[in-house]
Structure 1
Amino acid sequence: MSHEEHARSPAVVRVERPTDPVGAITDHDAVSRTHAYPVVRIGAPLFGHAVDLGDGRWQVHALLDHTPQDARNTLAHRLRERLLDTTDPALAAEVTAVAQLLDREKIDEVVVAGQIHRVIRADTFARFGPDGPEPPRPTDPDPRDFTDHDSFCDEEVIADPAAATGVGTAMLKVDLLTAHYPRALVPADVYADSVAAVRSHPHAAVLPARYAAAEHVDGAWQPISHAVATPQEARDELAFTFRHIEPRHRPLTPDQNAAYQQAADHLDRNRIDEITALGRRFRITRVETLLRFSPNGPEGPRPSDHDPDPPPEAAANTS
């Protein structure tokens, strides 16, 4: 991660020490991990949409998409779902018109019933230490049934850059606020937009952590799965890879196939965060997500973001 040429952020980070025992332990764990994994590296962005709740608070929805157009399509779909819940003809007509507009044009902000809906962009980060990327923390929620876990994909997650946080999250926010892509590793326009975002969106909210599998290859760690809501979900996805993807990806001898099946079984039985299969080293890693804010709300897509697909109606007209 590069911090060169960045402007001093005017953001104020509010800190509030937890008063309950569980919160205090979680905060202590976060501070300890900050020291154990001091290097922060920026990853690929995620896109979704958010609704303005007023007073600087935004409700985050479906932060899962990999391109801005995917997020626009998701927003149009979610707006159409409202048609099932309303008997108001005027609202139905407004929702239909806005959804049709999103089908035709690359628009990143719409208003429905006086409420702003915005396509948003979030940065992802991973902490690194001498032994590699940060694994899940002992205090991270890790239910066996990850469908019961509230993540930032759910509708109840509110992003408020002015809200007070614990010491650990505040330290993380300070690290991430001025982070941008290294000049040498990305195209010039991506680098320029990354630096500009530090200045134009100097406030931020840290969203709930995500988790992904990574493999150690040629001295470096490479992500091999998308980020999911819980460590157990990431383990399940890695086990699925061992059982079903590897046998299709390359020819395996019976012994090699048995080794991958054994590794998958081991992941099923044990809440482990690192495993070796056929000499390949894998780790479940922790992914941080930062939503940048300006005084006008959360950051939208950048000009340099990869956005190759046209809106669905425009695509249909050119086919």
Structure 2
Amino acid sequence: MGDEEQRAAVVLRVQRRDDPVGAVTEDDAARRGAAYPNIRIGAPLFGHAVQADAGRWRVHAVVSDTPQGARDNLAHHLREQRDDTNDPAVVVELTAVLDVLDREKVDEVVVDGRAHRIVRVDTFARFGPDGPEPPRPTDRDPRDAADHDSFLDENIVIDPDAATGMGEAMLRAELITAHYPRAQVPASVYTDSVAAVTSHPVGVVLPTRHAAAECVDGSWRPYSRAVATPQLARDEIAFGLRHIEPRLRRLTDEQATAYQQAADNLDAEPVDELTVLGHRLRVTRIETLLRMSTDGPEGPRPSDPDPDQPPAADRHQQD
């Protein structure tokens, strides 16, 4: 079966949303799609997922920059399960699994008959003539830091066959065929990226992230990691202005004071873009896509950087 035939077999079920919030969100998506028509793929994120029922998976903690970071989070998750159970058989099974995760780079383990898999999530930013897309008016954006973590909903049940709204369906169709440009990445990264389009032809959109970006010589580049909300991205900018830029740029006292004042202003009056001494920064919107096949969610690719070692191997090297 050729690539086009495989892609043609993918079906997206669209469900019309008549509620007022849904209608505004759909209109917001359409307007932004027209204003920021170009999509660029970014660095991946990693988490872990566990098999649920009826072909569904439950996704956790898609917050790591490397597969090993996700393995460490999975080990922490399973260690908490072991500490909370009184079943001796479960304790023995989890202890054996944790021993493997402590020593080896494994991307799938089985506990109580269910697979726990390290998963890879693609990230995307939309671009228009003025640069990357900022947050949308309909994006949730609490000021209270205690409310942020729930926005990523680190316990998401994904169902590739579930119906979705028109805006999300169009986004999924747009993202699922995207891959890294040949000229911008190593050959192995490009090859794996293209192969994933057909090996994992179904995409599930996960909660939107936000990040800070900076304009350098007319080009935009990442300034911070992806976080849950626009406010957390603003906090990343403020931290950078106060603590990173003065040392990185070797600012004078007067310049450092200007950066400090810009951070204070951002804390007092949240905005999505600011310029201080010619340094332009913007909060940007990051879409996330989990690729799926009939076997489940995509795991790490051979070309994904994975420099960190499992805890036991790292301790051995230090000794």
**Number of residue pairs aligned between Structure 1 and Structure 2:** 314
The TM-score, its normalising length taken from structure 2, stands at 0.94
Q: Percent identity?
A: 63
Task: Note the residue ranges of structure 1 that are not aligned, 5 or more in a row.
Answer: none
The residue type equivalent to 2:68 in the other structure is Q
Deviation at residue 6 of structure 1 after TM alignment: 6.6
Task: Note the residue ranges of structure 2 that are not aligned, 5 or more in a row.
Answer: none
The TM-score, its normalising length taken from structure 1, stands at 0.94
- Alignment partner of 2:52: what SS? strand
The residue type equivalent to 2:226 in the other structure is A
- Alignment partner of 2:263: what SS? helix
What RMSD in Å do the two structures reach over aligned CA positions?
Answer: 1.5
* Corresponding residue for residue 152 of structure 2: 152
Deviation at residue 308 of structure 1 after TM alignment: 2.3
Taking the aligned partners of 2:4 and 2:217, their CA distance within structure 1 comes to 35
Does residue 202 of structure 2 align to residue 203 of structure 1? yes
* Corresponding residue for residue 113 of structure 1: 112
* Corresponding residue for residue 272 of structure 1: 271
Deviation at residue 191 of structure 1 after TM alignment: 0.7
The residue type equivalent to 1:97 in the other structure is A
* Corresponding residue for residue 56 of structure 2: 57
Taking the aligned partners of 1:99 and 1:262, their CA distance within structure 2 comes to 48
* Corresponding residue for residue 236 of structure 1: 235
Taking the aligned partners of 2:41 and 2:250, their CA distance within structure 1 comes to 35
Deviation at residue 7 of structure 1 after TM alignment: 4.2
Taking the aligned partners of 1:45 and 1:194, their CA distance within structure 2 comes to 11
Deviation at residue 146 of structure 1 after TM alignment: 3.7
1:103-252 matches, cutoff 5 A: 103-149=102-148, 150-152=150-152, 154-155=154-155, 157-252=156-251
Taking the aligned partners of 1:11 and 1:178, their CA distance within structure 2 comes to 12
Distance 1:22 1:92, change over 3 A: same
Does residue 68 of structure 2 align to residue 66 of structure 1? no
Does residue 93 of structure 2 align to residue 100 of structure 1? no
The residue type equivalent to 1:92 in the other structure is V
- Alignment partner of 1:144: what SS? coil
- Asked if the contact 1:49–1:62 (Cα under 8 Å) also holds between the matched residues in 2, the reply is yes
Taking the aligned partners of 2:174 and 2:111, their CA distance within structure 1 comes to 36
Taking the aligned partners of 1:279 and 1:163, their CA distance within structure 2 comes to 47
Does residue 32 of structure 2 align to residue 33 of structure 1? yes
Q: Tell me the alpha carbon deviations over residues 104-153 of structure 1, each in whole angstroms, 9 at most, x when there is no partner.
A: 22211111112211000000000001111000000000011143142335
* Corresponding residue for residue 19 of structure 2: 20
Taking the aligned partners of 1:206 and 1:6, their CA distance within structure 2 comes to 22
* Corresponding residue for residue 297 of structure 2: 298
- Alignment partner of 1:54: what SS? coil
- Asked if the contact 2:62–2:154 (Cα under 8 Å) also holds between the matched residues in 1, the reply is no
Q: Which moved more, 1:71-80 or 1:133-142?
A: 71-80
Q: Tell me the alpha carbon deviations over residues 288-314 of structure 1, each in whole angstroms, 9 at most, x when there is no partner.
A: 100000011100011111112332223
